[in-house]
Chain A
Amino acid sequence: MDTQFKKGVIEVCVLNEIKKADNYGYNLVKSLSRVLEIGESTIYTMLRKLTNEGNLDVYEKAGSDGPRRKYYTLTNNGEHKLFLLVNEWEVFIKKINNLIGGLTDE
């Protein structure tokens, strides 16, 4: 996958993962980096970028079993952004499926 494409995917996945539940960096890296086959730096950088853009908020919370952690939560902006991205994604997938389907039919 080319990097621009991948970045888009990662953005969606990170936002979606946080939408499911507020989450902290280490956990996000563990759940996403293997599936997406990307290094942790991409996720950390993405978290930073999304925070800078106002799509994520950060708060600190001490876990019951662990140390104080920095949690990421979705802002309204972020929620809207995720909605748009998911839409875009679905449209994009449809187009691709049509294209690939068309090719394989030949």
Chain B
Amino acid sequence: MSKNDFMNQLEVLLRVKKEDKDSILEEYDSYFTEATSDGATEQEVVEMLETPKEIAATANDELGTTKSEDMKGYIKAQVDIAKKSIENSVDLIDIDGLVSNVNKTVSETMESIKKNSILEGIGEKMSEVIDKLKSIDYGKNNNGEQDYSNSKIDKVDIKGNKLIISINDENSSKIGVRITQGTEQELISMTIPNIVKNTFELIEDGETVQYLVPKTSIQLAQRKRVKLLIPTHIEDLTINSKCPLSVKGIELENLAVKVNNVPVSISDIEGGIVELNMGNGPLSVKDLEVDKFYIDNGNGPVSIKNIESEEIRLECLDGPISIKDVESDEFVAKLGSGPLSIKDMKGVKHSYSMGSGPKSIKDIDVEDLLVEASGGIISMRDVKTKLLDGDITGSVKSLRRIDAEVDKLRK
């Protein structure tokens, strides 16, 4: 305990006349001055003195007001101390600062994935593929636009170290695919199934592969980084990758990603169900407008930002986690320890279940909110809800501006 904490606590605990209180505080203040000039450290002085509680008990007993007033005062003092120390410690830990560091780490990792991407060009090349696919006449839809929905890429898989693009078009026969690896333009091992036989040998001329095929499979060396940029509509995208992965700009029905211990960045996805099954490793998810969104993550930093969805389920083990700008009717988060920040949340029914470690919950506007915390420090600010429920008894708390019509939260 610091001298300041000691003096603060003592001040709050002393329930005696003002002159007595001032005098005792002054004596203790000078005790610190004298003892430190005798060579003791502040900490040692605190240890040689009685505790503020003991001091106050002695003083209140001899000099204090009546017993019942004492008791009331004592209780109030205890509450004041608790509040003060919580506020101090919560502010001290600076959850927002911690979390912004987390965000920085995640975004730096993601930047480095992009920067070090050995297959930098693959996304653009894939776009070329898609563009060419688009140039094929699939017939018009009701709006007079090309209707890609029947006949186009219907599946892109990254399985292990293979990228598999399934193209559902048996009539087309001309498309070029070229993969750039790093700065060198070369073809990496690639098999393209024949339209008819469903198998096709790759022409390894280092240039263009001139076939349009129903299925494309690209071998990617393990641990290389993949950037997948497919600005089109895909029915079903399954990614089972051992490579660090960046998926961006897809409109799709279903996205399933299964990876193990590699950094993953998912952004700008519009569509149906997104399911991420991660090992450990940094995960950044940004700008999603989907029906349902599921994440199962191990340890490791997680940043989730700007998500709109009917239903979100999130299970993460330890590790810094930041969740921001989420609008979801139903939101269920089961999070482990480590610094957690949940901010700017909107929806109907949200449930945040958290482990120990510092937690910050801020700017929440949810009809039905359940908060569970199994220890550590929790800070809640600016929460607006009809029903607040849950249990945070095990945590050190700092609650400010909580507006709940019904408050059943066990503190």
Contacts and interface: CB of A to CB of B under 8 A. Distances in A.
Interface of A: 24-26, 29, 39-42, 44-49, 51-52, 66-67, 69-70
A66 B27 contact: no
Contacts of A25: 27, 30-31
Tell me the dominant secondary structure on chain B's binding face: helix
A48 B31 contact: no
Interface stretch (B48-56, B160-168, B299-307): B48-56
A69 B30 CA distance: 8
B93 interface: no
Interface string B206-232: 000000000000000000000000000
Given A41-B54, A48-B59, A70 B26 contact: yes
Interface residues of B, number: 20
Given A41-B55, A44-B59, A49-B63, A66 B24 contact: no
Contact of A45 (B31, B34, B49, B59): B59
Given A26-B35, A40-B50, A67 B30 contact: yes
Given A49-B62, A49-B63, A66-B37, A41 B31 contact: no
Contact of A40 (B20, B31, B33, B62): B31
A41 B50 contact: yes
B171 interface: no
B35 A45 contact: no
Contact of A26 (B31, B50, B54, B55): B31
A51 B37 CA distance: 27
B58 A45 contact: yes
A57 to B, nearest CB: 13
Nearest to B52: A41
Contacts of A48: 20, 23-24, 59, 62-63
Closest 7 interchain pairs by CB? A41-B55, A26-B34, A41-B58, A39-B50, A25-B27, A45-B62, A45-B59
A70 B37 contact: no
Contact of B58 (A26, A39, A67, A69): A39
A42 B33 CA distance: 20
Contacts of B26: 70
Nearest to B50: A39
Contacts of A24: 30
A29 B58 contact: no
Interface in B163-194: none
A46 B33 CA distance: 21
A47 B59 CA distance: 11
B6 interface: no
A46 to B, nearest CB: 8
Contact of A41 (B23, B34, B37, B59): B59
Most A-side CB within 10 Å, residue of B26, B27, B28, B49: B27
Given A25-B30, A26-B27, A40-B55, 9 more contacts: A26-B31, A29-B31, A39-B50, A39-B55, A41-B59, A44-B59, A45-B24, A45-B62, A67-B37
Contacts of A39: 49-50, 54-55, 58
A93 B20 CA distance: 33
Contact of B24 (A29, A44, A67, A69): A44
Contacts of B63: 45, 48-49, 52
Contacts of B34: 26, 66-67
A28 B33 CA distance: 15
A44 B28 contact: yes
Interface string B93-109: 00000000000000000
B62 A67 contact: no
A83 to B, nearest CB: 23
A42 B49 CA distance: 11
A6 B288 CA distance: 74
Interface string B45-78: 0000110001100110011000000000000000
Given A41-B55, A49-B62, A67 B33 contact: yes
